[in-house]
Structure 1
């Protein structure tokens, strides 16, 4: 099959699968060849499972074409935090470097039931901690726009696979921007959907909802297609939501234009690189071309840093405290810090943080009675040097810890809002910049519709995939 297929949209390739113009096996051949040509330069997909994928594809092809699910046999990589039966799941940690789960996560089972063919695991930082994709098991994932730069994280492998044509769609997860930040750094689209939108196997706590699973793609329509394939309610995940009556792809294609847009360069809580601020402001203002009123405004989310620090630390404590007790010498310093911060928490701190989150969400709901969407920069800086573990300062402000630079995305997490990162321009040095498109809680369809309108105005669709620009 022609390698030109890697440049096709996911929607177009799925149409070819449904018509019989291509088969899942042929697509696996195409993507395997592309990986052999490209991945050695960026290290996005360190775990491959093509024999399993071909077995799955053959089983799928024995079904009638109309019974092969929404994705119809499209290859999809899974982030190396998520269990895929019979495939290595390291979580980026030496502790689990030989871990092969016997059963897939509920999300993977649902994706495969909807016609996804899993062929690879995408790289992630250890336990998804830190917005720079490197670990002691597989090393660092490099940004294809400039391989001396970070791809962000924690879904960095997924973003790079998309940007380089090693995937048409990719799955990831997001607590403090882990789908949105790498999408911005790599020039693709990544979405944190509403809580419960994508069912997954609960671990360590039924009501854990800071982190969610979501889709990543090269354009808004492709992303909506994957979200449709991921959505639905299942008893195994008691927080999961029913799939909407109107598909997310239909919502993205609806052409529905927002009437009133808010833009905030910083949400009132963070410094932002001046070039990033200028590029995202210019993109937001172009909503006026669709007839929208664009104003500078944001909810009062001043508690975001304190609230997120406490709730994130608590999450690490309940999920990783036993590893600290038994495998401390194999954990990276940032993970140890997160767990120890969680173990020091008092009930009074948790009480305060939960109340802060309730207040932030209430103010978000009120804010979106006036504005259809809120736009901000997705990241406060452009892609930074790969050897920097995190962003230590921005615009003259030095941060207190290694996650504070992510406030502009984790504030949205705390307020329970769906949001996506959309490519909106490039720096003077040619690095991608993303604008964050935020909607009201459960307003996933409105976010997708608005993002597609802006995507059409900006005209940047099709800038990926690219061949890596190797810097020595």
Structure 2
């Protein structure tokens, strides 16, 4: 096993003990990027190699800052890292170079990360397919003709291809879970408030998205999450966040897991997805868990109505200022314009109705988690689709009526801010990865990560089926 194959937890320990240096890690990282990034286009805005090697040597000579000390890290290109260009995948903002880190980025920097560049994302993170007019498409490391998912597709592909040890991502509509499943790695959407957003603009109305960790092991998720987490006094919805990394190992015997499958037939699924995930369920049973089928706990159409209303409302607030500038509007993708115009057209009673549905779903989820400890479902409704396709237009004979309807299976967690991990479930018959979501009750982050850790011990798919290894 080479340096690029170990997880971040192991690398951090080796740097701390002196058995590996930050300089060696940086050289391995840059060599791997040079070797394979041209095939997948996961990392963009890469900094000068000589400057990065100098920073790595300086890290070796400096006191240890934290768990990320000396580790090369990229930042998803929706977030600001001082001195690195932020494009958000859009020509409307490309070229902007921030002078200040976003809050969670500053926490990674304080923990010793060496920022080397950005990971690719769809324009404004819209849609679970990482392609944009600034940097082009990110390709799946398991099949370069296929999508890497999104919007954290660049991060997931970089992890799968061995170019990164741990990555940040963000998740509004499955953006940490879908690409994890499609790239055979792990992604974790934490409970709302655990990782605070930016203390700017409105901090009350739009809590749909959250930042979170991605890695090749749940231990990596927990360590990075501990760095990203914690309240900020400027953010009223941020919450206390006890450390998780030392508490993942536990006996899972007797944990009750509910299988939601296709939500009682409400979600169309491409052939083979449900069968593949149901095969994976046996692994949870082998861990001592009890897996029981669940009837749909809430009407799917009401969830979708609330979701697309509140999502468009939120996107309109975020992208609206660019839309209002005719020159910038001309550079926006059609889906962004659709979201803004749709979000601005809602009446106050329509927004209130969507929020009421969301509130009812939260109450129903409390009842559901009174019966099971967590629920399981696929990370996507289809296998990775062709990279030159904008999005799936049909699944199992059913037309997709929006650019994101094919990701309906991720919204139950997103709508009410539940913790949810995307864990790898191995490769399908065509060699394409698929994953399973493990979703827990609000603030049940530790329980979800413990299940993911047990799953990792039982399967370790990232090591069993690594992408692009042996490339020369």
55-64 or 256-265: which moved more?
55-64
1:258 touches 1:372 (CA, 8 Å); kept in 2? Answer: no
**Worse-superposed segment, 325-334 or 247-256:** 247-256
**Contact residue 252 and residue 288 of structure 2 kept, 8 A:** no
Select which of 269, 280, 304 maps to 1:283: 280
Q: Corresponding residue for 1:45?
A: 43
Deviation track 1:128-160 (CA, whole Å, cap 9, x = no partner) reads 011110001010000010000000110000000
- Report if aligned partners of 2:7, 2:215 keep a CA contact under 8 Å in 1: no
Q: What is the Cα deviation at residue 465 of structure 1?
A: 4.0
Q: CA RMSD in A?
A: 1.9
Q: Decide which of 70, 74, 78 is 1:77's aligned counterpart.
A: 74
Hey, what does 2:395 align to over in structure 1?
Answer: 394
Q: Distance in 2 between matches of 1:469 and 1:134?
A: 27
Aligned to 1:4: 2
Q: How does 1:143-182 map to 2 (within 5 A)?
A: 143-182=140-179
Q: In the TM superposition, what is the alpha-carbon distance from 1:62 to its structure 2 partner?
A: 4.8
Q: Note if contact 2:42-2:154 (Cα within 8 Å) is conserved in structure 1.
A: yes
Q: 1:213 aligned to 208, 211, 233, which one?
A: 211
Change (3 A) 1:410 1:204: farther
CA distance in 1, matches of 2:448, 2:78: 26
Indicate whether 1:130 and 2:123 are aligned: no
Deviations 1:327-375 (A, max 9, x none): 1110011111111110111111100000011111111122111101100
Q: Aligned runs of 1:27-46 on 2, under 5 Å?
A: 27-46=25-44
| Bigger mean CA deviation after superposition, 167-176 or 55-64 | 55-64
1:25-55 C-alpha deviation (Å, 9 max, x unpaired): 3211211111011101110001112566556
User: Cα gap change, 1:48/1:237 in structure 2, threshold over 3 Å: closer, same or farther?
Assistant: farther
CA distances 1:32-89 after superposition (whole Å, capped 9, x unpaired): 1110111011100011125665565456445433xx2122222221100000011100
The counterpart of 2:13, out of the listed 8, 12, 15, is 15
Q: Secondary structure at the match of 2:213?
A: strand
Check conservation: 2:160, 2:462, Cα contact below 8 A: no
Query: Where does residue 350 of structure 1 map in the other structure?
Result: 351
Query: How much has 1:124 moved relative to structure 2?
Result: 0.4
CA contact (8 A) 1:257 1:453 kept: no
In 1: Cα distance, 2:59 partner to 2:238 partner = 26
What is aligned with 1:447? 448
Paired residue for 1:430? Answer: 431
In the alignment, is the contact (CA less than 8 A) between 2:23 and 2:60 conserved in 1?
no
Structure 1 residue runs without a partner (length 5+): none
CA contact (8 A) 2:189 2:212 kept: yes
Equivalent residues in 2 for 1:247-286 (5 A)? 247-257=243-253, 259-268=255-264, 269-286=266-283
TM-aligned CA deviation for residue 410 of structure 1: 1.5
Q: 1:469 Cα deviation (Å)?
A: 11
CA distance in 1, matches of 2:60, 2:237: 33
TM-score, normalised relative to structure 1:
0.94
Contact persistence 1:144–1:469 (CA under 8 A) = no
User: Contact 2:252 / 2:289 at 8 angstroms: preserved in 1?
Assistant: no
Distance 1:55 1:103, change over 3 A: farther
**Is 1:52–1:119's contact at 8 Å kept on the other side of the alignment?**
no
Q: Structure 1 residues 155, 258: CA separation in 2 closer, same or farther (over 3 Å shift)?
A: farther
Q: Which moved more, 1:159-168 or 1:260-269?
A: 260-269
Is the contact made by 1:204 and 1:319 (CA closer than 8 Å) also made in structure 2?
Answer: no
Matches within 5 A, 1:54-203: 57=56, 60-65=59-64, 68-203=65-200
Would the aligned equivalents of 1:265 and 1:272 in 2 still touch at CA under 8 Å?
no
Q: CA deviation at 1:215?
A: 0.4
SS in 2 for 1:232: coil
CA deviations over 1:414-465 (Å, ceiling 9, x no partner): 1321101111122111110101111011111000101122233334241354
In the alignment, the residues of structure 1 paired with residue 54 and residue 230 of structure 2 have an alpha-carbon distance, to the nearest angstrom, of 26
- SS of the equivalent of 1:33 reads helix
Structure 1: which 4+ aligned runs deviate by more than 6 Å? none
Partner residue in 1 for 2:330: 329
Distance in 2 between the 1:52 and 1:227 partners?
28
The Cα of 1:23 is off from its aligned counterpart by 2.3
Report the Cα distance in structure 2 between the residues aligned to 1:21 and 1:70, rounded to whole angstroms. 15
C-alpha deviation, 1:203, in angstroms: 4.2
Q: Which runs of 5+ in 2 are unaligned?
A: none
Match of 1:230 in 2: 228
1:25 and 1:240, CA in 2 relative to 1: closer, same or farther beyond 3 A? Answer: farther
How many residue pairs were aligned? 464
How far off is 1:288 after superposition? Answer: 1.9
* Compared CA separation, residues 30 and 24, structure 1 to 2 (3 A): same
CA distance in 2, matches of 1:6, 1:34: 8
| Aligned position for 1:314 | 313
Kept after mapping to 2: 8 A contact 1:146/1:469:
no
